[in-house]
Structure 1
Amino acid sequence: MQSQDVAQRPAPPSSAGPVVDVEQAEAALVEHYPRLVRLAYLVLPPGLGRSRRVLTAHALAQRALPRNRTPAPVIPAQHGGPPCSSGVESLGDGRDGDPGYALVRLQVLRMALEAGLPLKRKAWPKRSQLPPVLPQVWGLKLFPRSGGAEELALDQRLSTLSGPARAAYALRGLERLADDGVRKVLTAAGVADADGALLEADGIPAQYGLLDSSEFDPCSLQARPTDLMRRRQHLKAALAAGAALLVCGALLGLPGEGWGPDGAAAPPYARNPAAQAALDPAKLTRVSPTAWRGSARTDFSVWPARGDLTGDSSLLRRALTVWARPGETVRVSATPGTPSGGPAGPPQLLYAGTVDVARVVILYDGLRIARYAEPKEGTQGAALDFARVDGAGRAEAGAVVLGRADGNVRYLTAPWVKKAGERDLMKPGSGAMDLALTDGVTAPLASPVLRSGACTSWNVLQLTDGTKTRLLTDLGELVPARLTAGRPGSPGEASGAEALRTWGPFACSLGTVRSAGVRSVSAWAFNEQPLPDASGSAAWVCTRAETWRGGGARVLAQFHTPGGTYGAVAAKAENVLACGARQPHVLAGVLWKSKAGDWYLLAAGSRETASIRATGGVGGSSQTNLLTVPAERGARAELKGTLRDGRSIGGLR
């Protein structure tokens, strides 16, 4: 029982640690708030329900601030992070794991464990065992965005663990602590049997990468109404008792919340004729299998309906009705910027069939792709996913995700696709492995976003339509992102030999734009720089992820030294024009350590850069688009550049 795993009086932090001021603890709490809330959410007992766990996790994180100067525990060492080029340090890197963070992390963990203790008759409940007073949200239920099948399976496995075991798993995965470090933190938090908690956590596969998913992010939320009928009844009763009785009688006659003819759908709110017409399976738009051949458009609007269940009216009705009004048990997700409301009219049917262990329906309304999935038996556990695809052309409308299972992903391809293959983007010299196509459905291929552990490969989908060969990558959404390479404004497909060599060292950086509504990602090798120790030349590459909503583009400037497997992120920015068609310029720098142990500031700009100047912790200038200056480890520098036309450009940060 959990009451035996957690001591009644938690051990205080070790006096060997430094004393933390309230201001230092507050700074750590504000800086790492999302991480602390995620840790609390993972440790809290699943029986609270997703909505209450979200609010409780925020409440615990906000209560973690000490009232006065407090000794902090000794900070356990972390495991190494993701692989990167040795000796490269970003100019903007920060450092977590400070004493202030260690103190508030311990307090959050302690309260989250206490929240799972059973209440006792002869003892007052602890504050963490009671529903939080603040924050509170009235009239809405808040819960994290749904992840994929792997995240759901991990959440179910975590729910079977005790509180200390969930804490051990979270500290290993989120904090990357070694077992000795986990044992110290659990003991400081009051866990009586830390070794037992670690042993219990060993029973779950080490899918630590999934803990960064939106499934476990209580800071990125979806909102749904609470019991609307009950609220309406109370309001009517307050205005007029007689009117309230009539309204209650009418509401009681509506369908209940059980599994009725509409499956996982919620009760209807209105009988609008146009809305009802959109729910009629007989009125679904179905395109001829040869329509795309003579159409001026080659996008989702000319995809034919495929699958073995296109004639199953009951399944189609459930899919349409759940789209219009998803019930509380339906897992709904949408890419950023995608509305999740019902269709304005009858949508187009793209697919209805059996995929692995589920029945899947893919619909298109001209703006969005909607995927409805339910188990083969019953409708318990139904899911509804949305992706924005307005403005998609032949390049972006090449494939849609049908389903993910066992670390693999299966796609439905466009009718013009003649050949499909699987390629490891990290191995540009290797060829593509052919994938079988059955009525447009690919054989399963490994999904990079479902992988756990270190990034050692990045498998992408290669599609050939008779004119071009394109690469698409799964980023955890319905529509895979297109990969391109080349100068902004005129990039080419990433399937060519030179483009593949450009992408090779930087494939793992695609994980940074997972679930961000990405339409395409382009890689641009904007410069090469001779290294000051004569060990060769380093490559500078800029990657830019464009989104379906237009805004929110994410830019990374990356640096790759000879012989290295991975590139290192030198700078990153969001919502900037740099490295894009409207501003095809970029300037970035890194601190680099030579084999002899000397540190340098290396900076590079695109070919239109005429000069570079560094100020701040490192001073120096160059009248070319490359800069090499001796520096000290940990130095911070500001970069400014001048373009050939006289305009100024700032360093990407």
Structure 2
Amino acid sequence: MAGRTRFEEQRTDGAPPSPRRPRQRMPAGRAARTTPAEHEAALVGGYTELTRLAYLVLAGTGNRHRRVLAAHGIVQRSLPHRPLTAVVAAAAAPAADPAERTYQTIRLRVLRRSLATARHRLPLPLPLVWGLRLFPAAGSPEDVALHQALARLPPAARAGCLLRLLDGLTDAQAAEWLGRLGVREPIAVVRAGDLLLTAYPDAAERLTGSPEFDPCAVRAQPTDLLRRRTRTHVAAAGAATALLALTGLVATGTVTLAPTRNGGPVAVPGPGSGTVRAMAVLDTGARIVPLVPEIQPASAR
């Protein structure tokens, strides 16, 4: 039976997802400097929202297991390693919350990476998971239909639709975000999602409340146990055979390790190997050391 696991940054009390916080996230020109520690605090505090955004922008790209890992990888790699200029909302006062500005910067980086991955199918260094497949729990048939409708949209239109649904942005605000991401004709791209919003008037509540769209609350199942066990046994047997063969060659004197000028050993044939003493040396610093049999003293006979 499938087990249940969570990433450490997420909820552990089983409580329902928190309601959406109203945010004004339209980028503007004024900027402030933020440190990597502030970015880390903003990323950890909004990890669920950021990972959900990346997971849904990647809808339709690969299976759910890879999308879960890719979403977490995108968010975690969006943490900058040096002070950056934080985006300031257009509607924010001069004394706007610095934490909100920092969160906007992280969200912009997550969107940029997610769009680039969804458009060009870029290979990502995924978080390492061995022997398990992770996927969100299945939602209702309506949730599955909404997920499929999102996957049919182009990546940029999908991102604009998600900005309107998850953040409550207007068309103009969502288009401003897409414009900063390099999307051409952002207004037309945003309006490409109008049909989905009309078909699913409760889409915002479904995206934030259904486990179908939560890559931070996932189920874990083992991969093909028999195939994995067979591969492990074959690899172990091959390694053991190679080790025994090398040990036998060294013990019988067929192969002897001689030092080189570079300090590393090189294998040379022994006296009983039946091979010629002249051999091609791949390492330019290697020396062939001929092993001359010991001269036995003459006997009385």
Note closer, same or farther for the CA distance 1:189–1:156 as it changes in structure 2 (3 Å cut). same
Note closer, same or farther for the CA distance 1:159–1:96 as it changes in structure 2 (3 Å cut). farther
Deviations 1:565-611 (A, max 9, x none): xxxxxxxxxxxxxxxxxxxxxxxxxxxxxxxxxxxxxxxxxxxxxxx
Q: Partner residue of 1:107?
A: 109
Name the SS of the counterpart of 1:132 in structure 2: coil
State the distance in 2 between where 1:226 and 1:113 align. 29
Q: Partner residue of 2:204?
A: 208
Given that 1:142 and 1:222 are in contact with CA atoms closer than 8 Å, whether structure 2 keeps it comes out as yes
Q: Partner residue of 2:253?
A: none
Tell me by how many angstroms 1:240 deviates: 4.6
State the distance in 1 between where 2:217 and 2:149 align. 22
Given that 1:76 and 1:177 are in contact with CA atoms closer than 8 Å, whether structure 2 keeps it comes out as no
Name the SS of the counterpart of 2:125 in structure 1: coil
Structure of larger gyration radius: 2
Note closer, same or farther for the CA distance 1:192–1:26 as it changes in structure 2 (3 Å cut). same
State the distance in 2 between where 1:76 and 1:15 align. 8
Note closer, same or farther for the CA distance 1:51–1:77 as it changes in structure 2 (3 Å cut). farther
Name the SS of the counterpart of 1:174 in structure 2: helix
Structure number having the greater strand percentage = 1
Q: Partner residue of 1:178?
A: 170
Structure number having the greater helix percentage = 2
The reply on whether 1:29 has 2:43 as its aligned counterpart is yes
Given that 2:43 and 2:79 are in contact with CA atoms closer than 8 Å, whether structure 1 keeps it comes out as yes
Deviations 1:528-572 (A, max 9, x none): xxxxxxxxxxxxxxxxxxxxxxxxxxxxxxxxxxxxxxxxxxxxx
State the distance in 1 between where 2:168 and 2:68 align. 23
Tell me by how many angstroms 1:20 deviates: 2.2
Tell me by how many angstroms 1:66 deviates: 1.7
Deviations 1:192-251 (A, max 9, x none): 22112211111203421110111110100001122223212212323558xxxxxxxxxx
Tell me by how many angstroms 1:97 deviates: 7.4
Name the SS of the counterpart of 1:190 in structure 2: coil
Q: Partner residue of 2:143?
A: 151
Given that 1:15 and 1:71 are in contact with CA atoms closer than 8 Å, whether structure 2 keeps it comes out as no
Name the SS of the counterpart of 2:120 in structure 1: coil
Note closer, same or farther for the CA distance 1:238–1:232 as it changes in structure 2 (3 Å cut). same
**1:209 aligned partner, one-letter code:** E
Counterparts of residues 230-629 of structure 1 (less than 5 Å):
230-240=227-237
TM-score for the superposition, normalised by structure 1: 0.30
**1:66 aligned partner, one-letter code:** P
State the distance in 2 between where 1:40 and 1:118 align. 15
Q: Partner residue of 1:19?
A: 33
Name the SS of the counterpart of 2:195 in structure 1: coil
Give the fraction of aligned pairs with identical amino acids, expressed as a percent: 40
Given that 2:28 and 2:90 are in contact with CA atoms closer than 8 Å, whether structure 1 keeps it comes out as no
Q: Partner residue of 1:223?
A: 220
**1:103 aligned partner, one-letter code:** T
Given that 2:86 and 2:105 are in contact with CA atoms closer than 8 Å, whether structure 1 keeps it comes out as yes
The reply on whether 1:188 has 2:190 as its aligned counterpart is no
Unaligned 5+ segments in structure 2 are 1-26, 239-301
Tell me by how many angstroms 1:39 deviates: 0.5
Unaligned 5+ segments in structure 1 are 1-12, 79-94, 120-128, 242-653
Note closer, same or farther for the CA distance 1:96–1:196 as it changes in structure 2 (3 Å cut). farther
Tell me by how many angstroms 1:16 deviates: 1.5
State the distance in 2 between where 1:23 and 1:60 align. 18
**1:136 aligned partner, one-letter code:** L
The reply on whether 1:132 has 2:132 as its aligned counterpart is no
Note closer, same or farther for the CA distance 1:56–1:228 as it changes in structure 2 (3 Å cut). same
How large is the RMSD of aligned CA atoms in angstroms?
2.2
State the distance in 2 between where 1:62 and 1:35 align. 13
State the distance in 2 between where 1:197 and 1:97 align. 30
Tell me by how many angstroms 1:34 deviates: 0.8
State the distance in 1 between where 2:86 and 2:108 align. 9
Deviations 1:90-121 (A, max 9, x none): xxxxx8971000000000000000002236xx
State the distance in 1 between where 2:104 and 2:60 align. 25
**2:112 aligned partner, one-letter code:** R
State the distance in 1 between where 2:192 and 2:226 align. 43
Q: 1:141 aligns with which of 114, 126, 133?
A: 133
Q: Partner residue of 2:11?
A: none
Deviations 1:397-436 (A, max 9, x none): xxxxxxxxxxxxxxxxxxxxxxxxxxxxxxxxxxxxxxxx
Tell me by how many angstroms 1:45 deviates: 4.2
Note closer, same or farther for the CA distance 1:77–1:228 as it changes in structure 2 (3 Å cut). farther
Given that 2:74 and 2:113 are in contact with CA atoms closer than 8 Å, whether structure 1 keeps it comes out as yes
Q: Partner residue of 2:62?
A: 48
Corresponding residue pairs, total: 203
State the distance in 2 between where 1:222 and 1:77 align. 40
Q: Partner residue of 2:73?
A: 59
State the distance in 1 between where 2:177 and 2:108 align. 7
State the distance in 2 between where 1:239 and 1:31 align. 44
State the distance in 2 between where 1:195 and 1:147 align. 32
State the distance in 1 between where 2:87 and 2:72 align. 23
Name the SS of the counterpart of 1:223 in structure 2: strand
Given that 1:46 and 1:53 are in contact with CA atoms closer than 8 Å, whether structure 2 keeps it comes out as no
Deviations 1:462-493 (A, max 9, x none): xxxxxxxxxxxxxxxxxxxxxxxxxxxxxxxx
State the distance in 2 between where 1:63 and 1:240 align. 38
**2:174 aligned partner, one-letter code:** V
If asked which structure has higher relative contact order (CA below 8 Å, sep 6+), I would say 2
Tell me by how many angstroms 1:76 deviates: 5.8
**1:139 aligned partner, one-letter code:** G
